Amino acid sequence: MFDNVKEILEEYKKLWAYGYAEALMAWDTETYMPEADASTRGEVFSVFNELEKQVYLKISEKLDKIDEEKLSDEEKGIVRVLRRSIKYYTKVPIEVIKEFTKTTNESVVIWRNAKAKSDFNLFSPYLEKILDLSRKIADYLGYEKQPYDALLDLYEEGFTTGDGDRIFNTLLPEVSGILKKVQEAQYFPSSHELENVQYETERMKKVNEFLIKLLNMPSDKFRLDVSAHPFTIRISGSDVRITTRYEGKDFKETMFSVIHESGHAIYELLINPRFEGTPIATGASTGIHESQSRFWENIIGRSIQFIKLVYPTLKENLPFLSKYSDEDIYKYFNTVRPSLIRVDADEVTYNFHIAIRYEIEKRLINEKMTVKEVPSLWNDMMEKYLGITPKNDAEGVLQDIHWSQGSIGYFPTYTLGNIVAGMLYLKIPNLYNLVSQGKFDEIKEILKELICKYGATYPPKTLLRRSFGKEYDPEGLLSYLRDKYINLKGIG
């Protein structure tokens, strides 16, 4: 490794240590921290952020001396990731960053109140301010064609409006056809009685413990806890933690939270351990990370082969399942219905929800559509894609927290995750033979070689071209949906 890169990594060790402590505190905040300490915890985070900025500025000076032509792929990755982190702090004026942080902190509270009252007008002034600041940030960061591209790039490096338009223009007409055929065939129900059946939390915890063992999550590097909102957090490469929640009914919700978050954790655990303490010891992007959780949750977890593996344990711990066959459970896990709420959406309809948010964000940033137009456009697009219209703002335009947090450009990564999961579906030979035999370590090994071991060494598009010979290709996802929901390959 070149001396200049070694010097940078020595300085970066401070950021790594801060990040380690912040991750541990973030996990504790969501799980065991007494509520009274929330403000103090916030002050500690604020101090860490100031210290981190100072380190980034020191690293920035050293990066100017790097000759990238002589670097290895890993070293180039280290330099690239650091430059991306530094770019935001050096190009965006500190007063804009502070104003954005202040506005979003206030906005989250206003959004919660607006949602509770189902009144978009309470939130709209804050959304206007967030959008104005977001446009300024996009201008400071720079872009080639559209300002929205600069915001998309914050979450998915190199992803542009052109990419998004191509993907959704291909995906949506095909998925509309698939949805229509599913509804006509009526094999997959639009609802299931098990969605309303109560379960005992302690019994469901045993099911989730079994799932963790089935997926062979390493007990010395991994743990499962409970939180209000399921999440995954990497403390280090040898300490990755997930959470789930127990709502007392519709047992698949907590079960698939565990599988979904385990997918994120598997990615983190399979990153090359040599990268620990460097900026490439993380996922390639938000979308690539989401591909791992979606792959495990949907393509594996909702398959009939996986259900056959877990069926005996489900019946043993959930007595109300005694009258249901494994095929009944399969239908329960795979209900298909147009729904108002994104987080409740099934595999077939989910990407319509993302397309609506993508289109609205694009128009707000690129075309400067007014905020007051958002609710009507939202409702029109819900009717166009899903044939349903929200009755109020709470179940429509106010349902997601993302805009109040300033996360403009984040939503498309959910669809990118589904697309890359579909690419994996086509890539892995005999996938369901491996699932039916419980050979999950073999599947992990394939994922490691295709995606996980590289961490953030390569930008997402480069990584996809190396492993799949193409970038974000919707055909894999469409093939998966057709195979499962139209051709019924999953039950044969």
Give catalytic residues, as residue numbers: 261
8 A C-beta contact, residue 459 and residue 284: yes
- Residues in the chain, overall count: 492
> 């599913």: which residue's tokens?
182
Report angle CA 378, 380, 385 to the nearest 5 degrees: 95
Contacts of 291 (CB under 8 A, 6+ apart): 416, 417, 418, 419, 420, 421, 423, 424, 451
Structure tokens at 372: 């007051």
35 is in an annotated binding site: no
| 239 vs 236: CA distance, rounded Å | 5
| 152 vs 73: CA distance, rounded Å | 24
Structure tokens at 288: 């690539």
8 A C-beta contact, residue 229 and residue 13: no
402 is in an annotated binding site: no
| Cα distances (angstroms) measured from residue 456 to each of 47, 62, 230, 281 | 27, 21, 24, 7
Distance of CA 346 to the CA centre of its chain: 16
Distance of CA 407 to the CA centre of its chain: 13
| 117 vs 60: CA distance, rounded Å | 46
8 A C-beta contact, residue 156 and residue 285: yes
DSSP codes, 341-356: -GGG--TTTHHHHHHH
Structure tokens at 420: 């890359």
**In what helix (H) or strand (E) does residue 63 lie, and over which residues does it extend?**
helix 38-63
Three-state secondary structure call for residue 455: coil
290 is in an annotated binding site: yes
- The region that residue 446 occupies, defined by phi over 0 for left and psi between -120 and 50 for alpha, beta otherwise, is alpha
Neighbours of 125 (CB within 10 A): 12
8 A C-beta contact, residue 201 and residue 233: no
- Phi, psi (5° rounding) for residue 56? -60, -40
Residues annotated within a binding site: 260, 264, 290
Residues annotated within a binding site for Zn(2+): 260, 264, 290
